[in-house]
Amino acid sequence: MKISVLGAATTKFGELWSRSPRDLVMEAVNEALDDSKEISLQDIEAVYVGNMLSGTLGGQDHLGAFFAEELGLHVPAMKVEGACASGGLAIHAGVTAVSSGIYENVLVVGIEKMTDFKPEEVAEALMGAGSDPERDAGASFPSLYALMARVHMEKYGTTEEDMAAVAVKNHYHASLNSHAQFTFPVTMEKVMESPVVSSPLKLLDCSPISDGAAAVILSSKIKKTGRNIFIVGSAVATDSLGLAERDDLTTIYAAKEAARKAYKMSGVGPNEIDVAEVHDCFTIAEIIAMEDLGFFGKGEAARAVRLGQTRLGGRPVINTSGGLKACGHPVGATGVKQVVEIYRQLKGIAGKKQVKGAKLGLTHNVGGSGATAVVNILKG
């Protein structure tokens, strides 16, 4: 499989109170079209919109047509929803549509507007991705990932400092990214002293509530000018909605399975990946992701973070955008933004956060506490 990424762009992520979902999507789409240099809106044959909460929070349940109208298009357009993996899932839908040969060029958009609502409304809406018993028990995503962290700590000796090191690295990367929500670096002390959200997770172990949009143009055509970037593997897997139904809380089975399929499809192995954007909704999630993706053995990822192996200058470099932790996590936009970041890395246009000589990259996007996982592999 070889699907071209013809153009890609993201808005700044953050608390964007003066911007509407329309504004944000139009900005990302126009920049992606400009970036492609050889495609116009009229060449787009289908639109896939990654979004989770437009109905629950925004009262808009007809998102495909909503954005097609805004774009002035009459093409097939649909919302793709998979909780926090909605963006990655929309990319997968675009890839499969182009691979089928039905469409030559499709537009994938990721959008979420979360900060206009009260924190308790957002937390409740996000729990729409959990199981009924979890909701009935009053669980939140910080509390579910805190449970996973506790088991990882008990089984592998992972410490709160190891998790804090993920936040320090990702805030450092975000300090080099003008589109990130938090562009300030943080110290270990600052993370360790931040208020507890759900023990052992503290404020600075958590991704924030964010607004933002991202857009990617996928095509079966090869770019005539400039460096071609291809998606060479794209896979999705699912698992139980609730944690209680899982055998092991230190791994996300769906992510392992999606990775296995994407590696097989692309013929690329974990040791060949130069740069990856992984779903660090909480710092423990990045440690688990690196183990599930096969970058490190089970129980060994925390040590790699501590030694700085996954920071710029190491290999594989993880979350050059700042990840969900510091770049921000507008849930439906995240999976699309991850592809934008890897595309920019492989093109060599990632600026101060450029990974030198990056040729192979990966995105890992997770919905809920691991019920949906999407892995995409890109080649420069």
User: Which residues belong to the active site?
Assistant: 84, 329
- 126 part of the interface to ligand COA, by CB under 6 A: yes
Q: What is the spatial distance between Cα 277 and Cα 143, in angstroms, rounded to a whole number?
A: 23
Which residues 271-310 are close enough to bind ligand COA by CB under 6 A? 281
DSSP string of 289-350, one letter each residue? HHHHTTSS-TTTHHHHHHTTTTSTTSSSEE-TT-HHHHH---HHHHHHHHHHHHHHHHHT--
212: left (phi over 0), alpha (psi -120 to 50) or beta: left
Q: Please pick, from the candidates 8, 107, 209, 346, the single residue that binds ligand COA as defined by CB under 6 A.
A: 209
Longest dimension (CA), the chain: 56
Contact assessment for residue 353 and residue 323, using Cβ atoms and an 8 Å cutoff = no
The dihedral over CA atoms of 309, 312, 313, 317, expressed in degrees to the nearest 10, equals 50
Binding-site member from 29, 68, 89, 197 for ligand COA (CB under 6 A): 197
- Least distance to ligand COA, CB of residue 220, Å: 34
Residue 141 or 230 with smaller CB distance to ligand COA: 141
Establish if 206 lies at the interface with ligand COA (CB under 6 A).
yes
Q: Is 168 in the site for ligand COA (CB under 6 A)?
A: no
Instruction: Kindly tell me which of 49 and 174 has the beta carbon lying closer to ligand COA.
Output: 174
Binding to ligand COA by residue 127, rule CB under 6 A?
no
Q: Which of residues 60-119 bind ligand COA (CB under 6 A)?
A: 84, 119
Residue 187 sits in the site that holds ligand COA (CB under 6 A): no
CA atoms in the 13 A half-sphere facing the CB of 21: 27
Q: Which two tokens stand for residue 309?
A: 């192996």
Task: List the structure tokens of 120.
Answer: 């308790």
The contact pattern for ligand COA, residues 136-155, with x = CB under 6 A and - = no contact, is -----xx-------------
In the set 204, 218, 254, 375, which binds ligand COA (CB under 6 A)?
Answer: 204
329 sits near ligand COA (criterion: CB under 6 A) = yes
Instruction: Supply the minimum distance, in Å, between the C-beta of residue 76 and ligand COA.
Output: 29
Q: How far from each other are the two terminal CA atoms of the chain, in whole angstroms?
A: 14
Residue 129, token pair as written in the block: 């991705």
Cβ neighbours, 10 Å, residue 123: 14
Residue 60 C-beta: closest distance to ligand COA, Å: 20
* Cβ(308)–Cβ(23) below 8 Å: no
- Encoded one letter per residue, x for contact with ligand COA by CB under 6 A and - for no contact, window 210-249 reads ----------------------------------------
**Count of positions on this chain that bind ligand COA (CB under 6 A):** 16
Summarize as ranges the residues that interact with ligand COA (CB under 6 A).
Answer: 84, 119, 123, 126, 141-142, 182, 197, 203-204, 206-209, 281, 329
